[in-house]
Structure 1
Amino acid sequence: MSVREFAERGADLELVGIQKRFPGFTAIEELDLVIPAGSFFALLGPSGCGKTTTLRLVAGLEEPTRGSILIGGKDVTSTKAHERPVNTVFQSYALFPHMSILENVAFGLKRRRIGDPIQKAHEALKLVELDHVAQRRPAQLSGGQQQRVALARAIVNRPALLLLDEPLGALDLKLRRQMQLELKAIQEEVGLTFLHVTHDQEEAMTMADTVAVMNKGAIEQMGAPEELYELPRTAFVANFLGQSNLFTGPVVSTSADAITVDVAGNRIVVPTARAQRHQGDVTVGVRPEKVTMHTSAPEARSDRNVVGPARVGDVSFSGVSTQYLVEHPALGTMLVFAQNIGSGPVVGVGGEVWLSWAVEHGFGLEDGPDESRFLDDATTSSIAAQHRAELVSELEEH
């Protein structure tokens, strides 16, 4: 059997008018979403934004208060979890410690009396490059290897849709980055539809074809990772997906090519095509790595914004780059990431600097500075723990 046959039931996922209410709060307000077959789709957001609830609705572990869930065009809203063509890979792996790796992968096939379960399990392990450890127990494998086994166990069932619930959260940073690339490669190899739920921005941007940023039970913005990063539409997306310098002020002039915003006497120009609004008070921004720091006032140019003088308030060296916190008397604290092409930081704390950036790198938002509120950490941690326990229970039962 070729690896492409694993994807024989690949299908679109469609959520139509989904709402989910719990006693005391609404987890999802109104969600419409279409995920094409064969894509790697990430739901990204902080605790309490509704992403895990969305995954549980798709898995059949929760019922929507309102709306429909379709997989491959078939309405599965009322279908029980174990009858849906869906498998879940989650952070805890949930491998059976008393079974060999091969037995773990073949377990579901045997329970459902699928033909030739051992051969199919070997093929799934070959796909994740772990067939050579088929006779070992989970405790004899590293965290990354256990994660690959969990993936093989899910893939061997040939689901139309694979759900990934914070699958790399238990791994250390280096291994997590390695697994990000491996997961993406496996997804491209088998052609399954992956729905990945995570709060890790780098993880979502590294692996997904499309990222949907969730906030307060709704999708704030959706698109390719580069599009969301380079051109965020809201302050929430600008601040959650990376970091941003944001400034708010009235638009004082407009042209076919650009708008000019006055921020406490500083004129900041943004391309019209990169601004969501063109009149009234507008919040504009620029990413920290796009900003250049100067030790003397740079020459004024129409294609660059210049602010200053300002003073460096803090310097953090991180090897590849140096982070500067720059205090501007009118604009407040600005963040600058400078690549280390010399021997280290070029300006110390207290140094006087000017900041500039290309007009083409700026963006204008459709709202003001973000004031989002989420459930408190204790509540979201409790809900997440309950969700994980129920996912494990559901897997072992079926």
Structure 2
Amino acid sequence: MALQAEEAVRNGTAEGHGLVLAGVTKRFADFTAVDDLSLTVPAGSFFALLGPSGCGKTTTLRMVAGLEQPTSGTIGIGGRDVTALPPYRRQVNTVFQSYALFPHMSVLDNVAFGLKQRRVRDARAQAKAALAMVELEHLGARKPAQLSGGQQQRVALARALVNRPAVLLLDEPLGALDMKLRRQMQVELKAIQTEVGLTFIHVTHDQEEAMTMADTVAVMNQGRVEQMGPPRQLYELPRTAFVANFLGRSNLMRGRVAEDLGQGLGVDVAGTRVVLPKARATEHHGSVVVGVRPEKVRIQRMDAPFTATANQLAGTVVDASFTGVSTEYLVDIPGVGLMGTFSQNLGQDPASPGEKVRLLWEPDYSFGLAGGEDTGAGGVRP
């Protein structure tokens, strides 16, 4: 796959792709930051590189921008091999978390700066149009210090977009904003990307940010892509414990396949039979890890009626945390450990700490991972 992509980049036949990375590796002395990374990003799509600090996502972005040279592999932008090209010869612009605006220039002059450097005749007119796109045309005469953080971020975005790059790189662009403004900007940024039709490559460690905006998310870990796909697919059907834990939260239970049910598997988890679809499992024999998202799990008192076909485990409530919309319960399951579940606050608590309860979920909500997976990878279990 990497060889085919590399050949397409070198031959200039990768048209239709905003970005193609083929077998890209970056080593620093004895440390490998990016390890044999291959990605194909369709032109006009919103793509997110998601992962914790040190996973290689920012190094990847810097290589695309031309600020770092790959140790091996090729980089193609808009069907053109740019691996050896300097940054100024690549059709790329970057929006940083720090905004990097010129404090002595007006907002309009900041946006028009790149155009003027290239001696574009109608630089100011294009800059005004770019400010209008981010709804800041009326603030063109102000200096950056007179703007809010969200407004400065929009100016930085307008300055990048006005150059019409083939690829726009976003390096943690919303990290400096408060939560309410960050969520607002997530919606606006996606709307702008859809309107202009450019390829956006967004680097972030924020799972919600990636899932809110991106068409495709690549979850990175230790220089490699653990899993890549649409946000909903990654969330609903993670293929590794790292993805299951990093992209949200998961209850992960070790077990052993005890029965082949045709379309499903019967797994022995601490002496209790748990069922999951074969299509949602990476392994169909031997030891496995069964997972289920906390919001898919219902909590009931032991004397409440239940559906016999649902997966169920019994345990003791050890904690109940009120979060407003819901209450999070932690339940100690013998032989399994702590499992988490959320219960919507409808006026009556389904359980209290110290109480024996039953946790239930539908088999179709389960997913199965390889038995050798580290259940703590990518986050902390409840």
TM-score, L = length of structure 2: 0.92
Structure 1 segment 1-150 matched on structure 2, within 5 A? 12-150=18-156
Q: Alpha-carbon deviation of 1:11? A: 5.1
The residue that corresponds to 2:187 in the other structure is: 181
Q: Alpha-carbon deviation of 1:139? A: 1.0
In structure 2, relative to structure 1, the CA distance for the partners of 1:67 and 1:216 (3 Å cut) is: same
The residue that corresponds to 2:245 in the other structure is: 239
Q: Alpha-carbon deviation of 1:373? A: 8.9
SS at match of 1:135: coil
Could you tell me whether the CA contact under 8 Å between 1:10 and 1:161 is conserved in 2?
Answer: no
Q: Of residues 328, 336, 344 in structure 2, which corresponds to 1:331?
A: 336
Q: Alpha-carbon deviation of 1:302? A: 5.4
SS at match of 2:176: coil
Single out whichever of 323-332 and 149-158 deviates more from structure 2: 323-332
Asked whether 1:349 is paired with 2:353, we answer: yes
Q: Of residues 263, 267, 274 in structure 1, which corresponds to 2:273?
A: 267
Asked whether 1:206 is paired with 2:216, we answer: no
Q: 1:175-220: CA deviations, max 9, x gaps?
A: 0000000000000000000000000000000000000000111100
Q: Of residues 319, 325, 337 in structure 2, which corresponds to 1:320?
A: 325
Tell me the amino acid that sits aligned with residue 111 of structure 1. Q
In structure 2, relative to structure 1, the CA distance for the partners of 1:297 and 1:261 (3 Å cut) is: farther
Could you tell me whether the CA contact under 8 Å between 1:88 and 1:165 is conserved in 2?
Answer: yes
4+ residue stretches of structure 1 with deviation over 6 A? none
Tell me the amino acid that sits aligned with residue 155 of structure 1. L
In structure 2, C-alpha distance between the alignment counterparts of 1:11 and 1:300, rounded to whole Å = 51
The residue that corresponds to 2:236 in the other structure is: 230
SS at match of 1:12: strand
Could you tell me whether the CA contact under 8 Å between 1:85 and 1:160 is conserved in 2?
Answer: yes
Tell me the amino acid that sits aligned with residue 369 of structure 1. D
The residue that corresponds to 2:8 in the other structure is: none
Q: Alpha-carbon deviation of 1:346? A: 3.5
In structure 2, C-alpha distance between the alignment counterparts of 1:132 and 1:373, rounded to whole Å = 45
Q: 1:123-161: CA deviations, max 9, x gaps?
A: 000000000111011111111111000000000011000
Q: Alpha-carbon deviation of 1:234? A: 0.5
SS at match of 1:335: strand
Could you tell me whether the CA contact under 8 Å between 1:317 and 1:345 is conserved in 2?
Answer: no
Q: 1:81-111: CA deviations, max 9, x gaps?
A: 1110000001000011111100100011111
TM-score, L = length of structure 1: 0.89
SS at match of 2:151: helix
In structure 2, C-alpha distance between the alignment counterparts of 1:86 and 1:124, rounded to whole Å = 17
SS at match of 1:14: strand
Tell me the amino acid that sits aligned with residue 350 of structure 1. G
The residue that corresponds to 2:177 in the other structure is: 171
In structure 2, relative to structure 1, the CA distance for the partners of 1:373 and 1:338 (3 Å cut) is: closer
Tell me the amino acid that sits aligned with residue 199 of structure 2. T
Tell me the amino acid that sits aligned with residue 215 of structure 1. N
The number of aligned residues is: 364
Tell me the amino acid that sits aligned with residue 327 of structure 1. D
Tell me the amino acid that sits aligned with residue 117 of structure 1. A
In structure 2, relative to structure 1, the CA distance for the partners of 1:292 and 1:372 (3 Å cut) is: closer
CA RMSD of aligned residues (A): 1.7
The residue that corresponds to 1:378 in the other structure is: none
Q: 1:269-296: CA deviations, max 9, x gaps?
A: 1111111110010111000000000012
In structure 1, C-alpha distance between the alignment counterparts of 2:142 and 2:191, rounded to whole Å = 25
Q: Alpha-carbon deviation of 1:337? A: 1.3
The residue that corresponds to 1:287 in the other structure is: 293
SS at match of 2:88: helix
| Stretches of structure 2 lacking an aligned partner (at least 5 in a row) | 1-14
Q: Alpha-carbon deviation of 1:369? A: 2.5
Q: 1:288-308: CA deviations, max 9, x gaps?
A: 000000012555655310111
Could you tell me whether the CA contact under 8 Å between 2:245 and 2:378 is conserved in 1?
Answer: no
Could you tell me whether the CA contact under 8 Å between 1:248 and 1:281 is conserved in 2?
Answer: yes
The residue that corresponds to 2:364 in the other structure is: 360
In structure 2, C-alpha distance between the alignment counterparts of 1:291 and 1:373, rounded to whole Å = 21
In structure 2, C-alpha distance between the alignment counterparts of 1:44 and 1:62, rounded to whole Å = 20
